[in-house]
Chains A and B, each alone.
Chain A
Amino acid sequence: MSELVVVGISDCKMTRNPNVLVTHALGSCVGICLYDRNIKIGGLAHIMLPDSTQFVQTSINRMKFADTAIIDLIQSLLSYGADIRRITAKIAGGAQMFAVQGNSQIGSIGIRNVESVKTILRNQRISILAEDTGLDYGRTVYFDVATGLMKVKSLNNIICEM
């Protein structure tokens, strides 16, 4: 019996075959699905911001930022027996929800989130097998840990599986 594991905003979860991870309504946020095909465990992080180092506060929620969340998710996959050489990624989100003009952060945060996620994954030598990013609409992401397939759903009923 497969179970649906819900990942909130600024949150991260991992699970095993045959469960499915889901995160709802990504806007400018990015969902990062990491997977070890051999032992069929996967994780999903829902990040809001590109970089934790801009924030000086002592206590940050590490799941809010691309840099800290991805590193933590990799670590927990490894602790459950994943091999870093086998981990692959699929990503979705990073939209621009409002057509704001000028150089406000609102207009560019989606793009910066996606760029940051890609840089971090590249530095960890994790390849991105599929992505559905950018544009101007919200996305819900399902990640099936039995198959490694990511399914992206939007309100205009575009569903793509990759």
Chain B
Amino acid sequence: MFNNYEELNDEQLDVLREIGNIGAGNAATALATILNDRVQISLPKVKIVDFESAVNSLGGAEAMTVGVLVNFLGEANGLIMFLLNMEDAKGITELLTHGHEEDAEQLSELKLSAIREIGNILSSSYINSIATLTGLRIEVSVPYVAIDMAGALMSVPLIEFGTLGDKVMFIEEDFVGEAHQLKSSIILFAEIDTLKTIMERLGLEL
């Protein structure tokens, strides 16, 4: 039995990793469709890590980062945050909007909504993989987007799930297309009851 992320055993962690892998596969397919490009994914790294080391892999607490936040609810409850560094965010929006970068510092409203949509699609890919594997009915909220310091953005899910300890489930994934490359990071938090349901549905003993 577990009551927070720290108490998950190896077998349970493997299940979470596998969900991460399948979600990442779905996400790559979705991304390839949007970008109209062949997109390969690196083997996603699914880790349960300290908050600090998750922040460090994004370039440190103060690194300018784009975050897209999606809640999921229904038979499974939790939160997904998709994070991109500013450079990657600019690169991918340029491709999507076929625009010229007029202002190097800011993202226009159009580009911001492009990012919001990518975050939405990638998050949904993960949720769909959980739903498909478990047969649970899960809905997702509208996506919320913010640009700010990595640490300030990433503390949001940590606070929302403050009861679950100080570790986060962190998925790093490289999308490599013919013309471009993208490093995305995803934080996934599920309520403890949701984690238990997922494990049960997948035949693990608790």
CB–CB B62/A106 < 8 A: no
8 A Cβ contacts from A45-81 to B: 48-49, 55, 57, 61, 64
Given the interface pairs A9-B52, A61-B166, A104-B71, the reply to whether A138 lies near B148 with Cβ below 8 Å is: yes
- In the assembled complex, the Cα of A56 lies from the Cα of B2 at a distance in Å of 16
Query: Quick one: CB contact mask for B127-158 with A, threshold 8 Å, 1 for yes?
Result: 00000000000000000111111111101101
**Within the complex, which residue of B61, B71, B144, B145 is in contact with A24, where a contact is CB–CB below 8 Å?**
B61
- In the assembled complex, the Cα of A10 lies from the Cα of B50 at a distance in Å of 12
B162 on the A face (CB < 8 A): yes
Question: Shortest beta-carbon distance, A54 to chain B, in Å?
Answer: 9
Query: Quick one: CB contact mask for B61-83 with A, threshold 8 Å, 1 for yes?
Result: 11010010101000000000000
B33 on the A face (CB < 8 A): no
**Within the complex, which residue of A8, A28, A137 is in contact with B156, where a contact is CB–CB below 8 Å?**
A28
A99 on the B face (CB < 8 A): yes
Question: Shortest beta-carbon distance, B30 to chain A, in Å?
Answer: 23
- Chain A residues lying within 8 Å of B155, measured Cβ to Cβ, are 9, 25-29, 48, 97
CB–CB B153/A138 < 8 A: yes
- Chain B residues lying within 8 Å of A159, measured Cβ to Cβ, are none
- In the assembled complex, the Cα of A104 lies from the Cα of B61 at a distance in Å of 25
Number of A-B contacts (CB under 8 A): 90
CB–CB B153/A28 < 8 A: no
- Chain B residues lying within 8 Å of A106, measured Cβ to Cβ, are 69, 156, 159-160
Query: Quick one: CB contact mask for A88-105 with B, threshold 8 Å, 1 for yes?
Result: 000000010111100011
**Range class of the B interface residue count:** 20 to 34
A128 on the B face (CB < 8 A): no
CB–CB A140/B69 < 8 A: no
8 A Cβ contacts from A1-36 to B: 8-10, 24-29
Given the interface pairs A98-B146, A106-B160, the reply to whether A10 lies near B166 with Cβ below 8 Å is: yes
Given the interface pairs A25-B62, A104-B71, the reply to whether A97 lies near B162 with Cβ below 8 Å is: no
CB–CB B52/A27 < 8 A: no
Question: Shortest beta-carbon distance, A155 to chain B, in Å?
Answer: 6
- Chain A residues lying within 8 Å of B162, measured Cβ to Cβ, are 48-49, 55, 64
- Chain B residues lying within 8 Å of A155, measured Cβ to Cβ, are 62, 64, 147-149
**Considering only CB atoms, which chain B residue lies closest to A110 in the complex?**
B159
CB–CB A97/B146 < 8 A: yes
- Chain A residues lying within 8 Å of B158, measured Cβ to Cβ, are 9, 48
**Considering only CB atoms, which chain B residue lies closest to A104 in the complex?**
B71
- In the assembled complex, the Cα of A49 lies from the Cα of B166 at a distance in Å of 13
Shortest beta-carbon contacts, A-B, top 7: A138-B152, A25-B151, A27-B152, A24-B61, A138-B149, A25-B61, A25-B149
Q: What is the interface of chain B, defined by CB distance below 8 A to chain A?
A: 51-52, 55, 60-62, 64, 67, 69, 71, 144-153, 155-156, 158-160, 162-163, 166
Q: What is the interface of chain A, defined by CB distance below 8 A to chain B?
A: 8-10, 24-29, 48-49, 55, 57, 61, 64, 95, 97-100, 104-106, 109, 136-140, 155
Q: A97-B146, A98-B67, A106-B69 are in contact. List 11 more A-B contacts (CB 8 A).
A: A24-B149, A26-B155, A27-B155, A48-B162, A55-B163, A61-B166, A98-B69, A106-B156, A138-B153, A140-B61, A140-B62
A-B contact pairs, 5 of them (CB 8 A): A29-B155, A29-B159, A106-B156, A138-B153, A155-B147
